[in-house]
Amino acid sequence: MHLIGLLLVLIVVVALVRAGASQGPTSAVEPVPTRGTFTPGSVTPGSVTPGSVAPGSVAVGAVTIGTVAPVAILPKDCPTGYACAGYRVTCPGVSRPEIAFTAQRGPAGTPRGMAVLFSGDFGQDWWAQEAGSTAFLERLRSAGFVVVQLRWETGWSISAPGEDAGTGHLACRPASMIRWIHDHRFVPLQIPARPVGEWGFCITGNSGGASQVSYALSFYGLDTILDGVFPTSGPPQAAQDKGCLRRQGQAAYFYGSNAPMIDLAHGFASGGPCERSNATFLARWLAESVDTGGTDFVHPATRLHFIHSDVDNPVVPHALDYIARLRAAQTPFLTEQVIPGMPHRIQLSASGLNVLFNAFVASTRAK
């Protein structure tokens, strides 16, 4: 989203919150979600020093998976050919439940795996929005994958006004859905077990979606059920302190006009600590970031494949910090692949989608 559009939406949020306050303390006012994007720039060689936070130096408070309950609410934009459903996700320590929608379609033949896809920003859209990305999903189906797209009604990383939840704790929402989909959709398929990293239960997400799938590993320990995790153009919610504090020598990380997206996870509709570069919030950013707040960076039975561009600031520097943390922990099945000139949305790149498809089927093809 352009800066002007983001500011207009935030002005509406402030007006709604103030209106709710004038009605008394019992009035519940929901924030208006925005659809910002991490605007691509260019990565200056040598400008990024990933992994500067010592492993184990920061840890978030205990986080746990939440509860998922089916609801009668259905999305009005269910993709053609897909079966859609709605769920209420409730997380410990997070005051507001969030509604998740899934769109599922079976494979062209015998099921050989399941692919779950998360969209970017706050996750309010289906992963496939273009002809090219829709065709990509058909390729997965032809290869034997059950395809599940997941989107959020309001947004996975938006807290209630005034609630300092943080992205790490709000990531309970996608983590809970990943666990639920695995237990209730994947396990009943009774797909025979395969060697480590091959087919099975795999997830991917672009930009903010990359954060959703990455938190499932570093914060919520779901590597025990995930055969493959493929973050693309992210995760931007790693190294949040470097994006918010605007320190000298770390310009490649600066969130800039996207800072309000970080603040919404802490209950600020506008003028939040990231937007104002408030150093007193440092401990909170370290505690909630994918790389510095997590506790699990060794995934002995999960294949990780990161895909990103060489011209995508501030996303690439943040992703590199998380990748560096995984390498420092010596997680065994880790691949990073750079696609020169790839747009921020991998869905718009034919070459990027080819690489992602190969990530889903690579191990089987290698046999």
In a domain, 312, yes or no: yes
Indicate the DSSP class of residue 144. Answer: T
Indicate the DSSP class of residue 223. Answer: G
Paired sense of beta strands 113-118 and 200-206, if any: parallel
8 A C-beta contact, residue 346 and residue 352: yes
Of 258 and 14, which is predicted with more confidence?
Answer: 258
Tell me: the pLDDT tens digits for 212-226?
999 999 999 999 999
In a domain, 230, yes or no: yes
Q: How many distinct structural domains can be found in the chain?
A: 1
Tell me: the pLDDT tens digits for 111-128?
999 999 999 999 999 999
CA–CA dist 117, 103 (Å, integer) = 10
Cα–Cα distances (Å) from 303 to 113, 212, 217, 360, 362, in that order, read 14, 17, 11, 10, 10
Domain that holds residue 302: 68-365
8 A C-beta contact, residue 76 and residue 128: no
3-state secondary structure of 270: coil
Please report which residue ranges of the chain form alpha helices under DSSP H. Answer: 3-22, 131-142, 167-170, 172-181, 208-218, 240-245, 259-263, 273-276, 282-288, 315-328, 350-365
CA–CA dist 238, 212 (Å, integer) = 11
For residues 119, 123, 125 and 129, what is the CA-based torsion angle, rounded to 10 degrees? -20
CA–CA dist 199, 114 (Å, integer) = 8
What integer pLDDT is reported at residue 194 of this predicted model?
Answer: 78
Paired sense of beta strands 98-105 and 145-152, if any: antiparallel
CA–CA dist 21, 34 (Å, integer) = 21
Across the chain, mean pLDDT equals 84
In a domain, 205, yes or no: yes
In a domain, 46, yes or no: no
CA–CA dist 33, 158 (Å, integer) = 8
The closest alpha carbon to 294, from 240, 335, 336, belongs to 240
Domain with residue 170: its CATH number is: 3.40.50.1820
pTM of the complete model: 0.84
CA–CA dist 92, 279 (Å, integer) = 28
Cβ within 8 Å of residue 25, ≥6 positions away: none
In a domain, 278, yes or no: yes
In a domain, 206, yes or no: yes
CA–CA dist 316, 341 (Å, integer) = 12
pLDDT at 108 over 50: yes
Question: How many residues are listed for the chain in this entry?
Answer: 367
In a domain, 265, yes or no: yes
- pLDDT (average), residues 231-248: 97
Report the percent of the chain where pLDDT is more than 70. 81
Of 124 and 48, which is predicted with more confidence?
Answer: 124
In a domain, 39, yes or no: no
Tell me: the pLDDT tens digits for 281-296?
999 999 999 999 999 9
Kindly tell me the burial class for residue 348, based on how many C-beta atoms sit within 10 Å of its own C-beta (0-12, 13-18, 19 or more).
middle
pLDDT at 6 over 60: no
Cα–Cα distances (Å) from 251 to 90, 235, 242, 288, 362, in that order, read 37, 17, 8, 21, 36
